[in-house]
Amino acid sequence: MKDTEVVEGATHESERGKFQIFTAPAIRRPVSADHATDDDMSAALALMDYSGLLGPNSEDEVRATVTDMLRALVPGSAVTVLFGQRGPKGMSLGHAWFGPNLPLYRHSHPKFGDCLYYVLAGEIMLGRQVLKPGDGFFVPNGMPYKYRAGPDGCEVLEFRAGGGIKGAPHTRIDEASLDALKRVAEMCRANHHRWARPPVVVSDGALMSKA
């Protein structure tokens, strides 16, 4: 029997589910800054914990600054869920495309489990490290991190093993000041003219496809 064959009627199942095949979906298209609606921004804010920025700043000021940053980021970001399981221990696999020099703000994902990143194309600037295709990094659940896409952008696979904190926020902003978020927005707007469309499907294997 070949390794790729599946025994008909097999009942093998783990706590994460049964055997399942997924095929490459179309990559989500980025939204231009002009087409990012107020409803889109409100929905994104609803998933975020920005409480660390409150205190010296009013909530209205924080929300306005975060919204401006998110609106600047969206033209250079396209994240597609390739595979996802429900349940607290469900595994997931995502594909992310980021345009040239796109900077991610320092953040964490307490709701989700540990995360493993694998660079498919382009480069990632992680601190002083330059990660190229075939490189990657592991992020424990809830750990703050950020990185910047290289001069040609990047494509990464994001694998999560489940087991996050129940009831925790989807995304927590871990930057120390509003000025840090404003710098991210400024860097994004400076690179808007360099952000091309992402590949059509993951299996294209071509960064920055114009198709």
pTM for this predicted structure = 0.86
d(C-alpha 201, C-alpha 211), whole Å: 10
**Placement of tokens 């996050």 in the chain:** 164
Query: Which segments of 26-135 are extended strands (E)?
Result: 48-49, 77-84, 92-98, 107-108, 115-126, 129-131
Superfamily (CATH) of domain 28-204 = Jelly Rolls (2.60.120.10)
For the chain, 211 residues long, give each residue's pLDDT as a single digit of tens: 445 565 555 567 888 888 888 888 888 888 888 888 889 999 999 999 999 999 999 999 999 999 999 999 999 999 999 998 877 788 899 999 999 999 999 999 998 889 999 999 999 999 999 999 999 999 999 999 999 999 999 999 999 987 778 888 899 999 999 999 999 999 999 999 999 777 777 766 556 544 4
